[in-house]
Amino acid sequence: MKAVLKEDSKTLYVSDLDGTLMRNDETLSQDTVQIINELVEKGLAFTYATARSIESARTITGGLRLKLPVITRNGAVLADNMTGKHLERALFTQEEVSLIKELLPELPRYGFVSCFLGEEMHRLYVDGEHVPELQGYIDYYEKNPTVRPVATTEELFCGEPGYVTLIGPKADIAVLYDRVKGYPGWESLFQKDTYRDEYWLEICPRNCTKAKTIQKVKEKFGYDRVVVFGDGINDIPMFKIADEAYAVSNALDELKQFATGIIGSNEENAVAEYLRQQIGKE
């Protein structure tokens, strides 16, 4: 018997993707896809929030038939999970681009810039020598035509730049983070990768965080409450603004102290099972 949705139309449910909704092999289980799709069809207000681009996320979440916008690039881009279309996107000003180039001369060695060229987002890196962590990222996407090299730092910021990413060893990325974190015109996020022993520095326009964009979606669609799910330190802000917040059992201890409760692991369909048990009934 399929799940029957209880009256809960005023609550927005938001899950982190990596390490929470997604398994360690970077897939969603068929059970998770089926449960969430059935509940969404019955009226569940569900979406996800991720640092990934919609292009990257959809290789994993393409089977989800979500009706709400998904929150990608840590809140910098609202997108349609069904089509991949960008619905809203935040951009750096020219002054901010100039400041980024001034503060981060190491960018060609450590990172790439996500730029919007028409309706497509391209991840651009300078051709040349890179730290192994960035080179690993480039190699992983070597067959993706929207991840491509350019010749100069200036070309990194072509089109409409909206996101800067640097990848490397913790000590190196921490130094770069210290340089940019104090500027109030953008958001800076420094964290360890969920699956690999490398650290990421992500810079996006001001007010583009998971927490702030969740609040935007809540207000835009008229929800009264927010329930979130997560696993990492970068989920703490959205845990703080939520009415209820659930950490998966594999979450970091630093996040668990902010949680309403602990559910199963990301390998056990924990988010989907929680939704089925709490919202639906057999």
Task: For the chain, give every domain's residue range.
Answer: 11-89+209-279, 94-204
Q: How far apart are CA 134 and CA 258, in angstroms?
A: 32
Residue 8 has a pLDDT of 55
Of the candidates 274, 281, 237, 276, the residue with the CA atom closest to the CA atom of residue 51: 237
Dihedral over Cα of 258, 89, 50, 137: its sign: negative
Count how many Cα atoms sit within 13 Å of the Cα of residue 48 in the half-sphere of its side chain: 31
- Is 187 within 8 Å of 208 (Cβ atoms)? yes
CB proximity list for 84: less than 8 A, separation 6 or greater: 54, 55, 58
- Is 203 within 8 Å of 187 (Cβ atoms)? yes
> Element (H or E) spanning 72, and its range?
strand 70-72
Question: How far from 148 is each of 15, 41, 223, 243, CA to CA, in Å?
Answer: 30, 38, 40, 41
CATH of 11-89+209-279 given 3.40.50.1000, 3.90.45.10, 1.10.10.10, 1.20.140.150: 3.40.50.1000
> What parts of the chain have a pLDDT lower than 70?
1-9, 280-282
Of the candidates 86, 44, 96, the residue with the CA atom closest to the CA atom of residue 67: 44
- Is 32 within 8 Å of 61 (Cβ atoms)? no
CB proximity list for 144: less than 8 A, separation 6 or greater: none
Mean per-residue pLDDT over the chain, rounded: 92
Residue 181 has a pLDDT of 95
CATH of span 94-204 = 3.30.1240.10
